[in-house]
Amino acid sequence: DGGITQSPKYLFRKEGQNVTLSCEQNLNHDAMYWYRQDPGQGLRLIYYSQIVNDFQKGDIAEGYSVSREKKESFPLTVTSAQKNPTAFYLCASSIGRGHDTEAFFGQGTRLTVV
Amino acid sequence: GENVEQHPSTLSVQEGDSAVIKCTYSDSASNYFPWYKQELGKRPQLIIDIRSNVGEKKDQRIAVTLNKTAKHFSLHITETQPEDSAVYFCAGFKGSGYALNFGKGTSLLVTP
């Protein structure tokens, strides 16, 4: 079954802790993205990666970190420096080449700080 | 990055009526404009897209129009049905090396 998978679906974090969200795809896509979704805020770009071992900051990268050691995987770490981490996080991937490219989304991870 | 503005933020129509959602973008280098639908609790999914060399595209009850000069594009849904109720996002894209920039979304409610 091809697609993009995020885990876990729900995640609880204590204040001051780092937490890592998983994103895996078997679509052979070069590009992967992390978005944060808050009510009324749309989808805001955190980080994106066009190729293995390379990634760029998005509009709201502060307090987050990523790695792209494998083409299939793009984990997101929410660090203790992120002051308001409670949100719905969406990972996406696309072919990454050319001028028009459909992004496929994972089912999301809902992170709650307790 | 690219700034994509989307209006309205909420839209309520009666079943059978048409719905129109409008977006504007700031970067003239943007050349691909997809629309995503996100049902409650689910992931966003592409419903239609348009490229900058095309002015209009239609797929059954949905259509998208693009005005490059004015830098705006619109989603049109005709003969709306209750299952069209969802949040719709527009986006702009400049090409390889960039990411999709999304609008803030429109919550569409279709009442029977």
CB A103 to CB B100 under 8 A? yes
Cα–Cα nearest to A74, from A5, A19, A11, A8: A5
Backbone CA torsion sign across B82, B111, B88, B17? positive
Each of the 112 residues of chain B gets a pLDDT tens digit; together they read: 668 999 999 999 999 999 999 999 998 888 899 999 999 989 999 999 999 888 999 999 999 999 999 999 999 999 999 999 999 999 998 877 788 899 999 999 999 9
Distance from CA of A101 to the nearest CA of B (A): 8
pLDDT (average), residues A12-40: 93
- Beta bridge mates, B63: B58, B76
Q: What are phi and psi of B26, to 5 degrees?
A: -105, -30
Mean pLDDT along residues A78-90: 93
Contact status, residue A37 vs residue A90, Cβ threshold 8 Å: yes
> Which chain A residue has the Cα nearest residue B10?
A40
pLDDT attached to residue A69 = 97
B75: nearest Cα among B40, B16, B26, B24: B24
pLDDT score, position A100: 61
Mean pLDDT of A32-45: 92
Q: What pLDDT does residue B96 have?
A: 74
Q: Which of B34, B101, B104 sits opposite A41 (nearest CB)?
A: B104
pLDDT reported for residue A37: 95
Q: Please state, for a pLDDT cut of 90, what percent of chain A lies above it.
A: 78
Q: Measured between CB atoms, does A39 come within 8 Å of chain B?
A: no
The pLDDT value recorded for residue B5 is 95
Cross-chain CB nearest to A100 (options B6, B32, B101): B32
pLDDT higher than 60, residue A1: no
Q: How far is B48 from chain A (nearest CA, A)?
A: 10
Q: Do B103 and A90 touch (CB under 8 A)?
A: no
Residue B5: alpha-carbon gap to chain centroid: 11
B-chain residues near A108 (CB < 8 A): 43
Closest approach of B107 to chain A, Cα-based (Å)? 9
User: What pLDDT band is residue A20 in, cutting at 50, 70 and 90?
Assistant: very high
Q: Which among A44, A100, A105 has the least Cβ separation from residue B44?
A: A105
**Taking CA atoms, what residue in A is nearest to B31?**
A99
Average pLDDT (A78-89) is 93
Q: Which of B99, B47, B43, B102 is nearest to B75 (CA)?
A: B47
Question: Is the predicted pLDDT of residue A74 greater than 80, yes or no?
Answer: yes
